[in-house]
Amino acid sequence: AGGGSVGDQVKREIVGIDPGAGLMKQTAQALKDYELSDWKLVEGSSAAMAAALDKAYKDEKPIIVTGWTPHWMFAKYKLKYLEDPKGTYGKDEEIHTVVRNGLKDAAPSAYAMLDRFEWTPDEMAVVMSAIADGKDPAEAAAQWVQDNAAKADEWVKELPGEAGKKLKLAYVAWDSEIASTNVVKQVLEGRLGYKVDLMQVEAGPMWAGIANGSADAMVAAWLPTTHEDYFEKYKGQYEDLGANLIGTKLGLVVPEYMEISSIEDLKT
């Protein structure tokens, strides 16, 4: 792994994701809170971050990435979160379903299904891992819905179908949201007859799209901390349907073989 401090080993770089992610803002804040002014947060994407982690891990090289749970990478590699004694990354939060104003009247069954949609980190992990192993996201979602038919049936119980009606779901290409959004699409199409378009966008445009009505819904709102800015900015211009998943975490993630345990250890 080479000598010197951890900072020297990783060239004082943290491998980030897409710039619109709340995790990037929190990490920029962490660099301030922990006085790491000579460190750099590198922008990229979830996929590029995962590829960099994979490469470093195979060579047992040091690497620090921005990470979150639920994510398949914790099943595939031995990783740890760096402790965050200052609490920059907030407490546990929830993923919420957020829809455009007026959806309830425009598509009542979809609205009701979206309102009922909730699952667990373990359930999401099944879909996420299948996609990480190379399965097409739509196929992975369809398989999960087939294997969990009773649960999907509950989400649509006694709701009339609305055959052919169009819906747009906005999402960002975060692994967790690729999984959830595809599952919701499968259920809305397969069980209620909607025609669902998936709009892959950045985080800012996702929230803006719900607020201005160009998208109908999203299942990707991390609250109360991660998307707080967007949540406040568009207040009144969307409807928050509450949590669809509980038990998330965000922070700086490193392989277990690295001999550091806290963000504070980066200072030396």
Q: Are 97 and 242 in contact (CB under 8 A)?
A: yes
In this complex, which beta carbon is closest to ligand PBE, that of residue 7 or of residue 137?
137
Whole-angstrom distance, CA of residue 231 vs CA of residue 243: 14
Q: Are 34 and 86 in contact (CB under 8 A)?
A: yes
In this complex, which beta carbon is closest to ligand PBE, that of residue 132 or of residue 156?
132
In this complex, which beta carbon is closest to ligand PBE, that of residue 22 or of residue 44?
22
Whole-angstrom distance, CA of residue 165 vs CA of residue 107: 8
Q: Which residues bind ligand PBE (CB under 6 A)?
A: 17, 21-23, 68, 174, 176-177, 203, 222, 226, 250
Specify whether the backbone of 93 is left (phi greater than 0), alpha (psi in -120 to 50) or beta.
beta
In this complex, which beta carbon is closest to ligand PBE, that of residue 68 or of residue 72?
68
Q: State the nearest-atom distance from the C-beta of 50 to ligand PBE, in Å.
A: 12
Q: State the nearest-atom distance from the C-beta of 75 to ligand PBE, in Å.
A: 16
Q: Which residue in 202, 191, 108 sits closest to 156, CA to CA?
A: 191
User: Going by DSSP bridges, is the β-strand pair 40-42/13-15 parallel, antiparallel, or unpaired?
Assistant: parallel
Q: State the nearest-atom distance from the C-beta of 168 to ligand PBE, in Å.
A: 19
Residue nearest to ligand PBE (CB): 23
Q: State the nearest-atom distance from the C-beta of 67 to ligand PBE, in Å.
A: 8
